[in-house]
Amino acid sequence: MSKVDELYAHCENVLPGHGPKRMMKDVFEELAEGLDGSEALDRYGEGDYLSAFEKEVAEMFGKPSAVFLPSGTMAQQIALRIWCERSNNLTIAMHPTAHPEFAEQFSYQFLHGLKRLQFDTPEILGNRMLTLKDFQSLGKKPGAVLLELPYRPLGGQLPEWDELIAIHDWALENNIPFHLDGARIWQCKHFYNKEYRQIGGLFDSVYVSFYKDLGGLCGAMLLGAEDFIQEAKLWQVRYGGRLFTQGPYVASGRLGMQRVLPQIDSWVERTRQVAAILSEFDQLTVNPNPPHVNIFQLYVQGDPERMTERHMKIAEETGTFLIHKLNPTAVPGLGMTEIHCWENALQFDLNSLRPFLEKWLA
Amino acid sequence: MSKVDELYAHCENVLPGHGPKRMMKDVFEELAEGLDGSEALDRYGEGDYLSAFEKEVAEMFGKPSAVFLPSGTMAQQIALRIWCERSNNLTIAMHPTAHPEFAEQFSYQFLHGLKRLQFDTPEILGNRMLTLKDFQSLGKKPGAVLLELPYRPLGGQLPEWDELIAIHDWALENNIPFHLDGARIWQCKHFYNKEYRQIGGLFDSVYVSFYKDLGGLCGAMLLGAEDFIQEAKLWQVRYGGRLFTQGPYVASGRLGMQRVLPQIDSWVERTRQVAAILSEFDQLTVNPNPPHVNIFQLYVQGDPERMTERHMKIAEETGTFLIHKLNPTAVPGLGMTEIHCWENALQFDLNSLRPFLEKWLA
């Protein structure tokens, strides 16, 4: 275990995370406890427990069909490939911070020969979301659009509902398949005050994730029309993603969803309480402020390495733990970390926050 | 549970399988019992438990490096792509029954634009393995060669060691990367009377699997030189195969290997005993005979559907269970099934076999 992990494990008042860090043995015991013994392992994508879960999530998002996949990377590439082939157009439009662009070794190019259209030249979006105008100004109709809600690399920002509808309408009018990167879609209900099916209903296909917010081990689902999911299953085979069994991921995702989903709106409220206190300090910047969901970016003045060390020292003294690491930014002397408010945040003692920050920033 | 699964569960004397069919709850409990509590989940491919396992298997096959992947489909496509790019030649040579050709929706074409060279035109290999002469007669040098040991779709046949060496030498002389599909390589030690490192040493890259023979949940490893595995890890990201954690697969593979690997040579001996008895009956054909490994094909005269039903009826009466299903063959009135002798086969009462067959074939 790293020093930071050890410190995290010893602190009693911890902001990030889903409960204490668990060893594999604990994880398997917990999974076993969550099952009643009647659940069989799925085999090559077939099985009652798996298909009931797929049906449940598809219905939650108002889609006819779903397929459980090992990862979102796989799910989204499959969606983009299918849509672009159907559009007979190998170009895609997505934010330059979209997952396929910055975290997948350009697989959409290497495996699929897809190409991303740039939003203006040079493409300087900074920390802002895409607008209807950005799409209208592309200069070429893309074969598919990928929209991430919330934009994780932008601190969990969400477009206003009207803007979202406007982008949806533009895609619909131009007959462009509209795909939702819903890795963290669970967080969005509170901001929009809509049901998941209303958000999902705007998109032709939806990807959702079962770790991150939901605390599962791993795994994703791709949701859409029957024929779309049938085609996705061919690609699942091609990717080597139709595993002999996905049982552990399926069970942990389903159990995680049952435990966690009812909490998420309260995480968002807790996030705003945390952000409000952080905002009282001149050396801190919260983005967006107030947060739209249960994540946000926290900018901290001072050398990131020194400020991280200082945080750990105070955590050791006080038993309060806020962050794993400050990363450098483009601005010298300014560090950044993402704050994620999950299960632990609900137990976090808010009264400890100001005294901790006063010490840290002194 | 299907009727056949129920029957399988109730029979006391069962030839196929690894112990009784287990529900998810049992599987997780067993995994937890196999761990001492110190093992952490790997995260995005990093972790002591995972890397120790990778090192262990790499050394077993005399390779410098290894990467654990969710599936063999993914592992082998990655290997072929890397080798073909390095060869600057997008053609591959492999048996028409090789896994990428018949069980992956032609992903090597769809995702990679690779093309398979035919062995003669028309390509009629029937039930025979590739020989040195087949490779010499290709007419074009391929960018990579994939060889499966044993050939599972050919009843687990293995080329003689001298033939294998001859093919290896041809690949080496022609500077053609030589990849081993070792999904069932664990079975081959007995036939060759060689260590795994001697077999693996003939190949530039090796794929091995942790379910099937080893009874793990899922998962594979790709083994090779350091730079090859580094490059494979880029492709792992591209495939969406660098999962948040592969912990359950890693643990089940490692525990399975510890439990099962010492048994495998005795499975092969048991397989030959079973095959010898089956061969006494004119209505049965064993291929290859004697079996080379712990699998073989069993051809059964009679309508496959009727003979399957008849098998189940006798299984119900006697508590002895041999096969899940007879599949139709190209020959009318002839069925075929694969016999796999795994853990259950060692407990199987050989004395029950002749009386069962006499009833079945009467």
Q: Residue B1 pLDDT > 80, yes or no?
A: no
A170 and B CB contact within 8 Å: no
**Can you read off the two tokens belonging to residue A315?**
């955590």
pLDDT category, A21, cuts 50, 70, 90? Answer: confident
What is A62-120 written as a DSSP string? T-SEEEEES-HHHHHHHHHHHHHHHHT--EEE--TTSHHHHSSTTHHHHTT--EEPPSS
DSSP state of A207: E
Chain A positions touching B248 (Cβ under 8 A) are 24, 28, 217, 247-249
* Closest by Cα among B309, B343, B302, B303 to B323: B309
Range(s) within chain B of domains with CATH label 3.90.1150.10: 3-21+263-361
What does the pLDDT read at residue B21? 82
- Residues of chain B contacting A103 with CB distance shorter than 8 Å: 237
Question: CB of A90 within 8 A of CB of A114?
Answer: yes
A230 Cα to chain B: minimum distance (Å) = 13
**Type of residue found at A134:** D
- Is the pLDDT reported for residue A140 higher than 90? yes
Give the chain B residue nearest A233 (alpha carbons): B105
CA-nearest of A348, A362, A358 to A280 is: A358
Interface of A with B in 96-115 (CB under 8 A): 103-107, 110-112
Taking the CA of residue A335 as centre, how many other CA atoms within 13 Å lie in the half-sphere pointing to its CB?
22
* CB–CB contact A237 B1 (8 Å): no
By Cβ distance, the residue of B24, B244, B247 closest to A39 is B24
The amino acid that residue A273 corresponds to is: Q
Mean pLDDT of chain A: 97
Helix (H) or strand (E) holding A248: helix A247-260
User: Is A1 touching B (CB cutoff 8 A)?
Assistant: yes
Considering only the beta carbons, identify the residue of A28, A70, A107 that sits closest to B31: A28
The highest-level CATH class for domain A24-258 is: alpha beta
- Express each pLDDT in A316-352 by its tens digit: 999 999 999 999 999 999 999 999 999 999 999 999 9
Q: Given an 8 Å threshold on Cβ–Cβ distance, is A29 in contact with B32?
A: yes
Task: Tell me the pLDDT tens digit for each residue of B264-274.
Answer: 999 999 999 99
- In CATH terms, B24-259 corresponds, of 1.10.10.10, 3.30.70.1150, 3.40.640.10, 3.90.1210.10, to 3.40.640.10
CATH number of the domain located at residue range(s) A3-21+263-361 in this protein: 3.90.1150.10
Q: Is the ipTM of this complex over 0.90?
A: yes
Give me the amino acid identity at A281: F
Partner residue facing A23 (CB), from B22, B40, B77:
B40
Query: pLDDT, tens digit, for every residue of A188-247?
Result: 999 999 999 999 999 999 999 999 899 899 999 999 999 999 999 999 999 999 999 999
Does A27 lie at the interface with B, CB-CB under 8 angstroms?
yes
B105/A234 CB distance under 8 A = yes
* CA–CA–CA angle A308, A311, A313 (5° rounding): 115
CB atoms within 10 A of CB A346: 12
Alpha-carbon distance B248 to nearest alpha carbon in chain A (angstroms) = 7
pLDDT at B85 over 80: yes
Out of A35, A72, A104, closest to residue B238 by CB: A104
Band of residue A107 on the pLDDT scale cut at 50, 70, 90: very high
Measure in Å the smallest separation between the Cα of A222 and chain B Cα atoms: 14
Chain A residues 244-283 with a CB less than 8 Å from chain B: 244-249, 251
B73:A28 CB<8 A: no
Tokens of B148: 């499966």
CA-nearest residue to A212 within chain B is B244
Q: What is the spatial distance between Cα A116 and Cα A125, in angstroms, rounded to a whole number?
A: 15
Substitution target from B22, B28, B212 for chain A, most A beta carbons within 10 A: B28
A28, B29: Cβ pair inside 8 Å?
yes
> Tens digit of pLDDT for each residue in B11-59?
999 999 988 888 999 999 999 999 999 999 999 999 999 999 999 999 9
Most A CBs within 10 Å: which of B73, B111, B252, as the mutation test of the A interface?
A: B111
Per-residue model confidence (pLDDT) at position B314:
98
> CB distance from B39 to chain A under 8 Å?
yes
Average pLDDT over residues B145-151: 98
Using the CB atoms, write b or e for B9-19: b if 16+ within 10 Å. Answer: eebebbbbbbe
**Residue in A closest to B73 by C-alpha:** A240
Residues of B in contact with A233 (CB under 8 A): none
Mean pLDDT to the nearest integer, A128-144: 98
Q: Do A111 and B107 touch (CB under 8 A)?
A: no
